[in-house]
Amino acid sequence: MQMINKQNQSTASKAVRPRAIYYAITLALPLVFLALLEGGIRLLGVVQQEPLFVDGPPGYLRPNEAVVNRFFMHESRAPQVSIDTTFFRREKSVDTFRVVVQGGSSAAGFPYGKWASLSGMLGQRLRRIAPERQIEVVSTAMSAVNSYALLDFAEEIISIQPDAVLIYAGHNEYLGILGVGSAFGAGFSPARTRMLLALRQSHLFRAMQHLYGAVTAPSADSAARRSGTLMARIASDRAIPFGSDVYRAGLEQFSHNLRALLAAYEKAGVPVFIGTLVSNESGQAPFISAPGDATSLAALRALEPGATDSANRADHFFDLGSKLRSAGDPIDARRAYGWARDLDALRFRAPAAMSAVIAAAAAAHAATIVDVDSALARSSPDGIIGDELMLEHLHPNLRGYFLLADAYFTALTAAIEPQSWPAGPDREVAWQEIPVTEIEGLAAGYRLRYLKSDWPFQERKLAVEIEAPRNETERIAQDWFFGRISWLQAMQRALVHYQRSDRLDEATKIALNLATAFPFESNPQYVSGRLLLATEQPRRALAYLRRATRMSPDNIDAWLALNGAYAATGQQQEARDALGKLLQYDPDNAEALRRLE
């Protein structure tokens, strides 16, 4: 009997084995098919992920202007925003100091552009105090992005081996790309949105998404996509009351993403400097005045004893701030203005709670807090940030951007290799040397007029008229602003114009920007050095002229200029050596022979 049972069990076992194999194969076939499909799509190069960095000239990389498309099913759905171009070496040398900037439009320098940005102003300061050092300040900042994009970029930023990462972000958590109240939002929780971003690493997922997006997307030239400013198009949930579920969701997504971002940099050993947030407190009334909650009511009654429940609104706090300021109480006035901002239901400005999130995340992951808020408040009347430093609700003017960059400059040079940074010009001299040109200042004014002609500054979009140019500077600025010429063409025209007009200060600023923008070209280095010599700055000229002669050893004019710079700084042997190098390329050069005599 036992033998029969054993035989039955053996027979059953043999019957089960083929069935199990059959089920395993059946279950595996779809996975094998998907794997083959994924591999095929990868080999064919269909629907590539937009990388953060792409090839530049030989030996260089640059940020990808189309990287914003990675957050959308189809490029026609993406807003027209991009990262400003910065070229940096593919292979980082041992003497290179490389910094990467992350953030939104305020980090990107809107409306002035690259040279007013954190990367532009900071890079100029670092190169000014260490001209011989290889300084690379790479910006990945662009309008409308928030902590999802910052986190998504982190691994690619780590791969280029930055010596530090600088973050100024938090204003776009509600109405930025993938924001909780944005027209470009995913509509998911932070965890599900991050899962969606992770799935986009799959070529198959991106192909399916792209196909769906292409079928359902509007035309790239559709009026719906291109009409109105980005502010007017991005706010889908225009009223987000203080303390509401959507309000709390914005704080949650920022906290989750920021902590994950800082943890990634901490694990990679990359120092992080993250700034507190600023906005226009006294010069921008609430866009949408919404009521507060019990917390704001308690704050109101502390500022205004006997205030009624109906006064617990954004507009009342704003008016109260003005009254307290007029009464000589700037401290309480700033508190009132802060509550007016926090109760503003149109959340283009980060509430105070965002800076609290920044402080907590920085403390948890050894990041350095840069107190941008205090830096701008110290330079504001009564310690209240207003129109003196801000253009509108959010973006600083040139002085504001300078102070923002100065705060990071001070923190960075004090924390990283503090002994290696020579003393440079004081703050006010540095302010006079900011890299923003007249052309960019004029274009920023035009851009600001278009911004303020639409919602939320106006109920209905207004027509904007730009007056006809009155001089060559305005003509160049308008040609660039309206897209008739590129930035490079604008700067080349302006460089010639300023030299002919004997405006060597402005010509020098343009030349230095061109030398920074095109580090692989020798002529901008030479022109910068020549103009620095002409404006009696021979020590600054040396670094540029040395680079010019290294890149183009047969540039006779560069050697003559380098000889002049050495002579002007009392380095007579180096001056003679420069002429000796020149004569190797042009043995009969009369000017070199005369100088040697």
Q: What is the pLDDT of residues 328-356, one digit of tens each?
A: 999 999 999 999 999 999 999 999 999 99
What are the structure tokens assigned to 338, written together? Answer: 């802060």
Query: Which H/E stretch holds residue 134?
Result: strand 134-139
Q: Is residue 551 part of a domain?
A: yes
Q: Is residue 356 part of a domain?
A: yes
My answer on whether 559 and 497 are in the same domain is: yes
What value, to the nearest 5°, has the Cα angle with vertex 82 and ends 80 and 88? Answer: 165
pLDDT surpasses 50 at 40: yes
At residue 459, the pLDDT reads 87
pLDDT surpasses 60 at 6: no
Peptide bond into 241 cis (omega under 30): no
My answer on whether 182 and 329 are in the same domain is: no
Domain of 514, in residue numbers: 438-596
My answer on whether 339 and 376 are in the same domain is: no
Q: Is residue 285 part of a domain?
A: no
**What CATH number has the domain bearing residue 255?**
3.40.50.1110
Q: Is residue 194 part of a domain?
A: yes
pLDDT tens per residue, range 187-221: 555 666 666 665 565 544 444 444 444 444 555 44
The neighbour count for residue 458, using CB atoms within 10 Å, is 11
If one compares 5 and 443, the residue with the highest pLDDT of the two is: 443
My answer on whether 88 and 129 are in the same domain is: yes
**What CATH number has the domain bearing residue 500?**
1.25.40.10
At residue 197, the pLDDT reads 62
At residue 574, the pLDDT reads 97
Q: Is residue 462 part of a domain?
A: yes
My answer on whether 269 and 304 are in the same domain is: no
- Domain end, chosen from 409, 432, 455, is at 432
At residue 27, the pLDDT reads 59
Q: Which residues, in sequence order, are bridge partners of residue 494?
A: none
> Could you give the number of structural domains in the chain?
4
Q: Is residue 378 part of a domain?
A: yes
My answer on whether 193 and 76 are in the same domain is: yes
How many helices and strands in the chain, by DSSP H and E? 25, 8
- Domain end, chosen from 306, 322, 343, is at 343
How far apart are alpha carbons 370 and 404 in whole angstroms? 9
In the predicted model, what is the mean pLDDT of the chain?
Answer: 88
Q: What is the pTM of this model?
A: 0.87
Q: For 454, phi and psi rounded to 5 degrees?
A: -125, 175
At residue 5, the pLDDT reads 52
What are the structure tokens assigned to 384, written together? Answer: 């209240």
Helix 245-268 with 147-159: angle, nearest 10 deg: 10
How far apart are alpha carbons 392 and 265 in whole angstroms? 33
Residue 408 DSSP SS3: helix
My answer on whether 480 and 547 are in the same domain is: yes
Strands 60-63 and 53-55, how do they pair?
A: antiparallel
Average pLDDT over residues 580-587: 95
My answer on whether 97 and 40 are in the same domain is: no
My answer on whether 27 and 164 are in the same domain is: no
Query: Which H/E stretch holds residue 336?
Result: helix 330-343
What's the farthest any 2 CA atoms get from each other in the chain? 121
Q: Can you spell out the DSSP letters for 163-231?
A: SEEEEE--TTTTTSTT-TTBTT---S-HHHHHHHHHHTTSHHHHHHHHHHHHHHPPPTT-HHHHSS-HH
User: By C-alpha distance, which of 133, 150, 98 is closest to 119?
Assistant: 98
State the residue for tokens 């100091």: 97
My answer on whether 312 and 425 are in the same domain is: no
pLDDT surpasses 50 at 311: yes
My answer on whether 423 and 445 are in the same domain is: no
Q: Is residue 289 part of a domain?
A: no
Helix 147-159 with 190-199: angle, nearest 10 deg: 40
State the residue for tokens 């969701």: 249
The neighbour count for residue 382, using CB atoms within 10 Å, is 15
My answer on whether 174 and 58 are in the same domain is: yes
How far apart are alpha carbons 468 and 466 in whole angstroms? 7
In the DSSP assignment, the letter for residue 310 is: G
- Domain end, chosen from 323, 343, 363, is at 343
Beta-carbon contacts of 491 under 8 Å, excluding residues fewer than 6 positions away, are 437, 439, 510, 513, 514
Percent of the chain exceeding pLDDT 70 equals: 83
